[in-house]
Amino acid sequence: MLKVPEHQVAGHIASDGKLGPLVDDQGRFFKPLQGDSRGEHEAKFYESFTSNKMVPDHIHRYFPVYHGTQLVEASDGSGKLLHLVLDDVVSGYSNPSVMDVKIGSRTWYPDVSEGYFKKCIKKDRETTTVSLGFRVSGFKIFDHQESSFWRAEKKLVLGYNADGARLALRKFVSSNSPADSNSTPPNCAFASEVYGGPNGILVQLLELKEWFETQTLYHFNSCSILMTYENESILMKGGDDDVQAARAQVKLVDFAHVLDGSGVIDHNFLGGLCSFIKFIKDILQSVDKRDETETSPLENGN
């Protein structure tokens, strides 16, 4: 039985009459191959990537596992349509917070149509893409106060400037109510567990960065990094394995515009990735500093 994914934060969403991805109960994600060549192109990428011996083993974990294509009943009722079959990257989570960040200071690339170029560059300039080298496409977080999910409005997200993006990245790892927009600053309660630590987001991003400094296989135009972590275990906090419990995960997604590297590194993605890494590092540093000043009075008192 196929149903609409619960945790999708960006891209087309399947709903009444709309075409979008579906999931089954076996942890598989079905992404419809759309009319224009984008779907085919994405399938071609997955086929190439899956069998590419030049991709180091430790890098495969950052990509969804591909299971070929399959004819499936489309979500908009239009009949059977070819779908990409992937591992659902959030299927192992019961209450995941998820954020989609489009990486790169431009989403267009050489040789695209004039129309597509104009559309992309307009959006790139209106969002943080040009200024920061990445933009937040969407996110949902578990509101620990309300015990429910809070989803950021798309219009809000696309209107972010640098401070907005910074705030969103802090909200993403906070336990105070995200709906409390500007009054209470986000407390970054889970920053160390999600962003930091030996298996956290930062470590994973740094591993990706190292690969991007030399890989000339693919140019990941318009791709996103999807960050996910588990709230369930944080809810039941108190154990010794808080760091593992959050199971923060980085995945690259959306490969409709990937091109051959042709001997050049993906400097567009890499520049944006480095900028994103700096934002995460800054949040971790500010949390460390805050924790230091909070504990030192105690030490001084002794």
Partner 1 sequence: MQLKVPEHQVAGHIAKDGKPGPLVDDKGRFFKPLQGDSRGENEVKFYESFSTNTEVPDHIRRFFPVYHGTQAVEGSDGAAMIVLENLLADYSKPSVMDVKMGSRTWYPDASEEYVQKCLKKDTGTTTVSAGFRISGFEVYDHKESSFWKPERKLLRGLKVDGARLTLRKFVSSNSLSDMGSKPDSAFVSSVYGGSNGVLTQLLELKTWFENQTLYHFNSCSILMVYENESILKGNDDDARPQVKLVDFAHVLDGNGVIDHNFLGGLCSFINFLRDILQSPDESAES
Residue 177 and residue 195: Cα distance in Å, rounded? 19
Choice from 26, 113, 262, 300 touching partner 1 (CB under 8 A): 262
Hey, what are 274's tokens?
A: 């480095």
Cβ-based nearer residue to partner 1, 47 or 260: 260
Q: How many CA atoms lie within 13 A of 183 on its CB side?
A: 4
6, 213, 260, 291: which one contacts partner 1 (CB under 8 A)?
Answer: 213
Task: Please identify which residue in 8, 75, 97, 105 interacts with partner 1, judged by CB under 8 A.
Answer: 105
Give backbone dihedrals phi and psi of 44, rounded to 5 degrees, phi first: -60, -40
CB of 271 to partner 1, least distance (A): 3
For residue 107, state whether it binds partner 1 (rule: CB under 8 A).
no
Question: Does position 214 bind partner 1 by CB under 8 A?
Answer: yes
Residue 175 in 3-state DSSP? Answer: coil
Q: How far is the CB of 92 from partner 1 (least distance, A)?
A: 32
203 binds partner 1 (CB under 8 A): no
Q: Which two tokens stand for residue 199?
A: 């298996």
Q: Which is nearer to partner 1, 56 or 77 (CB)?
A: 56
Q: Which residue matches tokens 């960040």?
A: 101
| Tokens read off for 30 | 């079905």
- Asked if 158 is part of the footprint of partner 1 (rule: CB under 8 A), the reply reads no
Tokens of 246: 């959050």
Distance (Å, whole) CA 1 – CA 269: 37
Contact between 48 and partner 1 per CB under 8 A: no
What does the DSSP 8-state code read for residue 249? E
Exactly one of 55, 59, 82, 130 binds partner 1 (CB under 8 A); that residue is 130
Q: Nearer Cβ to partner 1, position 146 or 213?
A: 213
Radius of gyration of the chain (CA): 20
Of 1 and 264, the one with the shorter C-beta distance to partner 1 is: 264
| 211 binds partner 1, rule: CB under 8 A | no
Question: Which residue, 246 or 273, is less far from partner 1 as judged by CB?
Answer: 273
Min dist. Cβ of residue 48 to partner 1 (A): 17
- Check residue 270 for interaction with partner 1 (CB under 8 A): yes
Sheet holding 249-253, edge to edge: 148-151, 134-143, 96-103, 224-230, 249-253
Shortest reach from residue 209's CB to partner 1, in Å? 9
Please report whether residue 264 would count as binding partner 1 according to CB under 8 A. Answer: yes
**The only residue of 132, 152, 258, 283 in contact with partner 1, by rule CB under 8 A:** 132
Give yes or no for residue 131 binding partner 1 (CB under 8 A).
Answer: yes
Residue-wise over 72-99: b if at least 16 C-beta within 10 A, else e? bebbeeeeebbbbbbbbbbbebebbbbb
Q: Is residue 196 packed enough to be buried (19+ CB in 10 Å), middle (13-18) or exposed (0-12)?
A: buried
Using CB under 8 A, list all residues that contact partner 1.
105-106, 110, 125, 130-133, 162, 213-214, 216, 262-265, 267-268, 270-272, 274-275, 277-278, 282
